[in-house]
A and B are shown apart, each in its own frame.
Chain A
Amino acid sequence: MSELSAEGGHGAVPLKDVPTGEGVTPPEPEWPLYEVFVRGKRGLNHVHVGSLHAADDRMALLHARDVYTRRNEGVSIWVVRADAITASSPDEKDPMFAPSGDKVYRHPTFYDIPDNVPHM
């Protein structure tokens, strides 16, 4: 237990010889995981802020309020069960995004406009 990192937040914590709990079945059935999205103020999109566990949708909403909006961080909250989300592959060079990669003509900077043409 010689290795203790200062960066355990509120003080040093050991980083060696500590079990991680990976691949272990929880001791009681765990509540479903919900992802939380908050609209910061009117005019802005809902943005993902984190996740939490709750027994049902309503509890997820109430917990999201208590955990993620203690300082007026939001005017609206969405919660959605994590297992209901369909996602693309995490790799940013994914062929999924290839269709937009070679279409430079979709950007305004592709077009040369003479300097003497105003407001364009």
Chain B
Amino acid sequence: MTLTETPPARDLEAGFEATIARNERIEPRDWMPEGYRKTLVRQIAQHAHSEIIGMQPEGSWITRAPSLRRKAILLAKVQDEAGHGLYLYSAAETLGVSRLELTELLIAGKQKYSSIFNYPTLSYADVGTIGWLVDGAAICNQVPLCRTSYGPYGRAMIRVCKEESFHQRQGYELLATMMRGTDEQRAMVQESVDRFWWPALMMFGPPDDASPNTAQSMAWGIKRHTNDELRQKFVDMSVPQAEALGVTLPDPELRWNDERGHHDFGQPDWDEFMEGVKGNGPCNAQRMAHRRRAHEDGAWVREAATAYAAKQRAVSA
């Protein structure tokens, strides 16, 4: 309910632009251009879907964790991913969409999630590698989003980033522990890193020259860095971490460039990436089937809770 009138229409767009120009945040009930709202819904909803689907690759290792300590850590991590999904659905809902509808769009395959979760987790070392590289790449993406122009999204990102740091560190520590183990364990770590390095680089999306709408997102303050800038940052961060761990990164072109002050590196296989986005990655069908089943299996719980709430209301009325 609103107690006062909204200002005249001609002031609305100017007011929005001025707020962005002052680097202030747009809040849910502010007027905003339809393109801004739609871009945000797509980005936040699919970010939320990624968190929810992201529970699957690691979740399957919970019952196979090698110790109670690792099991407790992994449980907490996977629970966090669910929490991140909920923070993000909550932010998306402030834009006038409903969580149930977004879930339906995910299950119908109309909205996407990050392709990284379409790769299988073949060994326990993958739990560590996902924490180190996949969550490390996610941190590169998400830290700038804490300053994104849409208030609820930025606030959700601040919470997510605080928790993501635990995810990355537990992964790196897991790998470091294995590297201090047997030759076989070290080989498991290297094999895992070899499989995840290129998909991790793909997480930043196609190169800037193939991203024509980046400029609009940056003008609106939704996006703060280009795909290539973030990818470079991630590579520069990861190289010394790999050295400290004692693993090699599977890129023959990877070397320090003194002139640029950055590492040069090779390009991932973008055809493989696009196949994943289209739904043809190694585990797409499995991930979607699992998500659909979880939603359908949960239907009776939702119905029962609704019926119980109605009954309680009737009793107290």
Q: Does A22 sit at the interface, judged by CB under 8 A?
A: yes
Interface membership of B2, Cβ < 8 A:
yes
CB pair A13 B113 closer than 8 Å = yes
Q: Considering the chains assembled together, what is the distance between the CA atoms of A33 and B99 in angstroms?
A: 10
Asked if A72 lies at the interface with its beta carbon under 8 angstroms from chain B, I say no
> Does chain B have a CB within 8 A of A90?
yes
Q: What residue in chain B is nearest A25 (Cβ atoms)?
A: B101
Q: How many residues of A contact B (CB 8 A)?
A: 51
Closest to B94 in A: A51
Total chain B interface residues with beta-carbon distance under 8 A: 98
A42 within 8 A of B: no
CB neighbours (8 Å) of A12 from chain B are 114-115, 202-206, 227
Contact A5 B43 (CB under 8 A): yes
User: Which of B47-55, B121-129, B183-191, B250-258 contacts the other chain?
Assistant: B47-55
- A11 and B138 contact, Cβ closer than 8 Å, known pairs A6-B205, A22-B41, A91-B7: yes
| CA distance in complex: A99, B4 (Å) | 14
Q: How far is the CB of B290 from chain A (nearest CB, A)?
A: 17
Count of A-B contacts with CB under 8 A? 225
Once bound together, how far apart are the Cα atoms of A29 and B99, in whole Å? Answer: 11
Query: Which residue on A lies nearest to B100, using beta carbons?
Result: A26
Q: How far is the CB of B15 from chain A (nearest CB, A)?
A: 7
**In B141-179, which residues have CB < 8 Å from any A CB?**
141-142, 144-145, 148, 152, 155-156, 160, 163
In the complex, are the beta carbons of A15 and B43 less than 8 A apart?
A: yes
Considering only CB atoms, which chain A residue lies closest to B135 in the complex? A10
Closest Cβ–Cβ distance, residue A10 to chain B (whole Å): 4
Please report the C-alpha to C-alpha distance between residue A22 and residue B115 in the assembled complex, in whole angstroms.
24
**Are B98's CB and A21's CB within 8 A?**
yes
| Contact partners of B51 in chain A: CB under 8 A | 9-10
- With A15-B39, A18-B112: A88-B4 Cβ-Cβ less than 8 Å: yes
Residue contact A20 to B41, C-beta cutoff 8 Å: yes
Distance in angstroms between the alpha carbons of A89 and B101 in the assembled complex: 27
Tell yes or no: B117 within 8 A of A by CB.
yes
The winner among A7, A31, A56, A93 for most chain B CB atoms within 10 A is A7
Segment from B66-74, B240-248, B259-267, B305-313 that makes contact with A: B305-313
User: Across the two chains, which residue of chain A brings its CB closest to B79?
Assistant: A70
CB-defined contacts of A11 to chain B, threshold 8 Å: 50, 114-117, 137-138, 141, 202-205
A3 in the interface (beta carbon within 8 A) = yes
CB of B35, distance to nearest CB on chain A (Å)? 10
Q: Are A5 and B50 within 8 A (Cβ)?
A: no
- In the complex, the answer to whether B99 meets A30 with C-beta atoms within 8 Å is yes
- By a CB distance below 8 angstroms, the chain B residues around A50 are 87, 90-91, 152, 155-156
Q: Which of B90, B114, B116, B274 contacts A52 (CB 8 A)?
A: B90
Q: In the assembly, what is the distance between CA of A42 and CA of B28, in Å?
A: 30
Chain A minimum-CB-distance residue to B34? A22
Q: Which residue of B has the minimal Cβ distance to A21? A: B101
Q: How far is the CA of A3 from the CA of B35 in the complex (A)?
A: 15
Q: Check B142 against A9 for contact (C-beta < 8 Å).
A: yes
Query: B90, A96: Cβ atoms under 8 Å?
Result: no
- 26 A-B pairs with C-beta separation under 8 A: A1-B278, A2-B211, A3-B211, A3-B213, A5-B217, A7-B230, A8-B114, A9-B88, A10-B113, A10-B203, A11-B50, A12-B206, A13-B114, A15-B213, A20-B42, A21-B98, A21-B102, A22-B38, A22-B96, A26-B104, A27-B101, A51-B93, A52-B90, A56-B309, A56-B313, A88-B4
User: 6 shortest A-B CB distances, which residue pairs?
Assistant: A11-B114, A12-B205, A90-B29, A11-B203, A13-B46, A9-B47
